[in-house]
Amino acid sequence: MSEEKLISIVIVNYRVPDFLARTLTSLREADDYDTAEIIVVDNASQDDSKETITAQFPEVNWIGLKNNIGFGKACNVGAQSARGTFLLLLNPDTLVSKNTLRVCVDFFKAHPEAGIMGPKIINANGTLQASCRRSFPSPQVAFFKLVGLSRLFPKSKTFSRYNLNYLDPDECARVDAISGSFMFMPLGVFREINGFDETFFMYGEDLDLCYRVLSLGRSVWYNPATQIVHFKGKSAAKQSWKAKKAFYEAMIIFSRKHKKTHAAFFPSQLLFLGIMALAAVNFIAGLFKTFTACFIDLLFINTILWLGISVRFSMLAMENPYFGSNTATVLLMHGLLSLAFIGIFFYRGVYSKERYSIVNSLVAGLFASMVFMVAVFFVNSMAFSRIAFLLSTIGITLVLVAWREVLPKLISRFRRFIFSTGTVIVLGNDSIALALIKNVETDASATIAGVLWPVNEQHPGQFEGYPVLGHIEDIKHILANGHVDQLLIATAQPWYSYVIEALATVKVHRLTIRWVSPELFNRTGEKLPDVIPLRDFTV
């Protein structure tokens, strides 16, 4: 007979092994982790997720699916194997606090009538994630949100009902719905309502689940006694357009299914049109974001082609085609080449932040060049300078990739030149922390204020000539009482919970948190790199 567990934690993974590893690490640090089982359902990631995770976390029960069946359906698959009294549905891009599991269990012991509970969820910059407590969508609620009245009157129970902004974020409250990134409930309740409605693919299923929990006569709770960090949308970012499409489809499904919620009947045709209008607005906004990049690309494409043709005909001592009988044809070349590059860049996702890469850009440029050269080859009237066209397409491809790589680096260096790194605190007490301090000392704009000791034990008072400001337990007090610009974390000791609690309770401005990857601490006996690589905590 299989061993029973108190908590079954189901996590659906889709191509985010690095984030999933951080989530599992934070769970390992949590109280009562030994009473939990971890079930990871992989939605056909087709990457190294399984190898990466099972090597670091052999206790994980891995369920690999052959197809991406969506979030809700995958959760249902994981819940079928659950053996716990309680079920936690957790996103792979979250970090939990040390007390999270214990607080959740204690809450249901004190509130046996409750059906589902969610914690206080904060963004990576410490701000409250508004979606962690919500009301059910209705035409009135959505209208107040869309026209900005909820922002203008955040404390109004009428206008700010969309995200319940009028509630104190540090007080426990009964709400309509909580975020699907963290849903804690008795496993029996989940099974009584037959889990998630599998009609929903990726969004809306959390609202629907909360609605059906309430229909059982049980309550939905927001409980800020514990906090988590949610790096929102990391899985969805892997397929940005599909994610947006799924979001609007989910809105339509939920609205049609529960259109009489709270007697708020609204004609489904008008509701559909409203949602489509919102989708159109978001799509147009997305196009505007890429307009600048398109403009720069067009500028380079046409300038390089002009230079290529002009130089080629100048070398041959021939009439410049821009001022002769071939003017119309050469202008047609400009249009065709521009269309080839811009169209294929769009198709390949080069204008998408999530899909952009050097390789992808080079492939797109090569493909666009081939399309253009094939057209030139087969249409004789356009083939008046194949060499100029070929060299121009090669130059365009390289320049379009180069400006994307070089410009961000120049901007970053300019910012570092104009704005100082500021006050730095280093969390750590070993050779890696020491090497990181040496790196920071080379930055003339940085000032190391001191060191935080990563464990609650006697410290020497100073480390590498810098004062030890306290233990990791003191991080809230230190951030609250002193201006800190950067917190650099260089320790393998547990730190997630302390940082999460500090972010959730202390108002800090412009704080950058960076941390040394855990892999570096596992390189025993190996020489440390000259520059310690750091990851951004904020994403």
Q: What distances in angstroms separate CA 215 from CA 131, 208, 495, one per listed residue?
A: 21, 11, 40
Q: What is the DSSP string of 445-483?
A: TEEEEEEEESSSS---SEETTEEEEEEGGGHHHHHHHS-
DSSP assignment of 103-137 equals: HHHHHHHH-TTEEEEEEEEE-TTS-B-GGGSBPPP
The number of CA neighbours under 13 Å toward the Cβ of 243 is: 12
Q: CB count, 10 Å around CB of 137?
A: 22
Joined tokens for residue 401: 């990739």
Q: Are the C-beta atoms of residues 294 and 351 closer than 8 Å to each other?
A: yes
- Cα-based distances in Å from 401 to 114, 307, 407: 55, 19, 10
Answer yes or no: are the C-beta atoms of 365 and 348 closer than 8 Å. no
The span from the CA of 94 to the CA of 229, in Å, is 5
Question: Percent of the chain, pLDDT > 90?
Answer: 52
For residue 466, the cross-strand partners are: 463
Q: Average of pLDDT values for 192-204?
A: 81
- Cβ(211)–Cβ(100) below 8 Å: no
Of the given ranges (59-63, 163-167, 243-247, 439-443), which has the lowest mean pLDDT? 243-247
User: Distance between CA 270 and CA 29 in Å, rounded?
Assistant: 49
The closest alpha carbon to 49, from 246, 245, 238, belongs to 238
Question: For the segment 320-350, what is each residue's pLDDT rounded down to a tens digit?
Answer: 777 766 678 888 889 999 999 999 998 888 8
Distances (CA, A) of 473 to 43, 92, 102, 339, 350: 38, 26, 19, 58, 44
Contacts within 8 Å (CB) and 24+ apart, 409-415: none
DSSP, res 180: T
Average pLDDT, the chain: 85
Percentage of the chain lying above the pLDDT 70 cut: 82
pTM for the model stands at 0.73
Could you tell me the pLDDT band of residue 266, with boundaries at 50, 70 and 90? very low
